[in-house]
Every structure is written in structure tokens, then in C-alpha cells.
Amino acid sequence: MSAMRADELEIVEEEDPELNEQQFESRTPWRLAWRRLKKDRVAMVSLGFIVLLILVSLFAPLLTALIGHGPNAQYTTKGLSLSGIPVGPGHNGFLLGTDDQGRDVLSRIIYGSRISLEVGIGATFLALFLGVVVGLFAGYYGGFLDSVLGRFMDILLSFPILLLAIAIVARFGPSLGLLIFVISLFSWPYIGRLVRGQVISLREREFVEAARALGASDLRIMFVEIAPNLIALAVIYATLLIPVNIVTEATLSFLGLGVQPPTASWGNMIAEAQTGDLFTVAWWFLVFPCVALVLTTLAFNLLGDGLRDALDPRYGRSHISAARKVRRAFRLRRTLPEPEPVEAKA
């Protein structure tokens, strides 16, 4: 009797009431994950922001045409006061004001979003590709190949990354392509190590054995059997790597080694604002690019967090159960009434 009650309680505790509502829809893992994600309001707002940002960067020429100010046009009469001080937000039709050269800050931020997304997403995809391939080979074959590749990734990760990136960019001259290449060069080992760990546990599973028994080649097992199991992991960590790469781009541009002026990038806008002391009287052309940068990285981080909870139920559940164990050990707060003591039957 008591055993049965305990079991029932367990089931009630673990099941998600909303999942039972629509019983006739097929429940693929992706649909389940999407449903979990939809309930996460923070993640959905972040997703909305990111979609908006992508649209803005895609339609940048259209938007700046609507605003009427090009990103590099200098409005020396309209955009600067007589003493050469930038026009504040909302004045003379400059929604976010102008910078020290009389350029529209809003138009420049819109064009800057293109650079951030191009580099952030481009470098992440490159890193993802490299990381997954190397991780698959290292994890699947193990042995000597694994220790060589693993050591190599460790060494790359223990490099003073920024310093070497700076040295490389300084040597070959800054360009967008090189920027993407350098950033992905130093970020792929993160993915590589994660994938390697995952593959090591996956390669012992029955479905791999089954495929091998059917005579599948190593390459087929790696890329057809194992790789699909890595998609969730890849999606989560790619989402978390994008903001890191966006910040790296902005940092390099801030140090003058990334995107070169007059092309607008958030990093070099901030650097240009910092060089003069004009930003102390005209805060807007320093603060608005900063805000754009912070909101973008925050949105990707929050979405990544939400995706991790939604896509990786194992992580989510162990997370919750750890919290529950703590609560139980310390009786901090109970969500469920403790089962009433049932007298043992003889």
C-alpha cells in the first residue's frame, strides 16, 4: 500500500500536465522541446529580439533609406551644432543623435548589426563544423588519434587567445574574412571537446553496435548514426558561442584590429567615441552602440540558457532534482505535501 502511494506521487511529480492536453499530436523530441521552450517566456522574448535583429540587418539599406540618413554620410550642418557638438537624440530627425562627425548613430547601429551577426554567426558555424568533425574523429577512434587531437585542443585552449588573434590580425591586415577565420580558429576547441565527450559515451551504445553488425563503415556510423545525436548539443552551444564571438569581434574592432572605419561596427563605433573626450558631453554616441551590443549578447545568452533546459531534458531534470534534494535535505520549501505516514500492514 505504502509502496503504491509513493509510486503514484513520483509519477505526478515528474509528469508535465500540459503534455497530456494534446494527446493526438505526434510527440517528436523536437516538438516536445519547442513546447518546453514556448513556455519559457524569457527565452521567447530573446528569440523575438534576435529575429528582429536579423530582419533589421537584412533590410538595413531599406531601413536607412526610410530614415533618410546613410550610415557614412556626414551631416555637418544638420548633425552638428555650431560649435561642432553632436546633435542629441530626437533632434533634427536623428532618433539616436549623431556622432562626432555628424553621422546618424541609428543608421550606423543598423549597419553595425550586419557586421556583428556576420562575424558572430559565420565564425560560430565554422567553429561548429571544425569542432564536430574533429570531436567525432577523436571520440570515435580514441587511442592515439584521440590523445593527439585532445592535447592539441587543450593547448589551443590554454593559449593567450586574444594576444595571438591580435598578432595574426596585425600581421595580415584586418579584413572581415580573416576576422571570421581567426575567431573560429580559437573557438572550435570548446565544441570539439564537448562533442568528443559525447561521442565517447555514444559509441558504446547498442545502436552503434547494431549498425556495425549490419556492416556499416566507420564513416557511416560517425556521420549517419552518431552525428544526429549531437544536434541538440550543437544547437545549445552554438547559441552560447555566438555572443562570445560577437564580443570578440567587438573587442578586436575596439582595439582597432577588426572592422576598419568608416565601415560601422559596434566595436569601432565605441572606439571612435572613446578617442575624443566629446562623449562626455554627448553620451549618446558612446552609450547606444554599447546598449545594442549588450542587448544582443544578453538575448543570445538567455536563449541559449532556455534552449539548454528545453533541448536537454537530462540536464534539466538532474538540475531540478538536485534543487529538490537540497530542499528535502534542508526542508526549505515544499511544493508537494509530504505523504502522510501510512501504518504498515502486517
Partner 1 sequence: MIRLIVRRLLYLVIVLVIITFLTYVVFFAGNPNNLAARFAGRDAGPAEIRDAAIRLGLNHGFWYQYWHYLVGLLHGNFGLDFQNAVSINSEIARAFPVTASLVVGSVILWLLIGIPIGIMSATHPRTLRDRASTTFALTFLSVPNFVLGLLLLLVFYYYLTRAGLSWFPAAGYVPLTQSPVQWLVHMILPWISLALIQAAIYTRLIRGSLLDVLGEDFIRTARAKGLSRRTVIYKHGVRAALTPVITQLGIDIGTLLAGAFVTEKVFGLTGLGQLALNAIGNEDLPVVAAVVVLAASFIVIMNTVVDILYAVLDPRVRLA
Q: How many residues bind partner 1 (CB under 8 A)?
A: 45
Distance CA 287, CA 278 (A): 13
By the rule CB under 8 A, 177 interacts with partner 1: no
Exactly one of 121, 168, 176, 200 binds partner 1 (CB under 8 A); which one?
168
What are the backbone dihedrals phi and psi of residue 80, each rounded to the nearest 5 degrees, phi first?
-125, 145
By the rule CB under 8 A, 166 interacts with partner 1: yes
By the rule CB under 8 A, 280 interacts with partner 1: yes
Task: Output 195 or 240, the one with its CB closest to partner 1.
Answer: 240
Residues 306-345 touching partner 1, rule: CB under 8 A, are: 319, 321-323, 325-327, 329-330, 332-333
Smallest separation (angstroms) from partner 1 to the CB of 24: 33
Distance CA 118, CA 125 (A): 10
Which residues, 6 or more positions from 225, have their beta carbon under 8 angstroms from its beta carbon? 207, 208, 211, 216
Binding string, 204-243, against partner 1, x = CB under 8 A?
---------------------------------------x
Closest CA to 168 of 179, 176, 177: 179
By the rule CB under 8 A, 297 interacts with partner 1: yes
Smallest separation (angstroms) from partner 1 to the CB of 79: 22
Smallest separation (angstroms) from partner 1 to the CB of 26: 32
Task: Output 18 or 154, the one with its CB closest to partner 1.
Answer: 154
Instruction: From 52-60, 62-70, 80-88, 273-281, give the range in contact with partner 1 by CB under 8 A.
Output: 273-281
By the rule CB under 8 A, 148 interacts with partner 1: no
- Residues within the interface to partner 1 (CB under 8 A): 155, 158-160, 162-164, 166-168, 170-172, 243, 247, 250-251, 254-255, 270, 274, 279-280, 283, 286-287, 290, 293-294, 297-298, 301-302, 305, 319, 321-323, 325-327, 329-330, 332-333
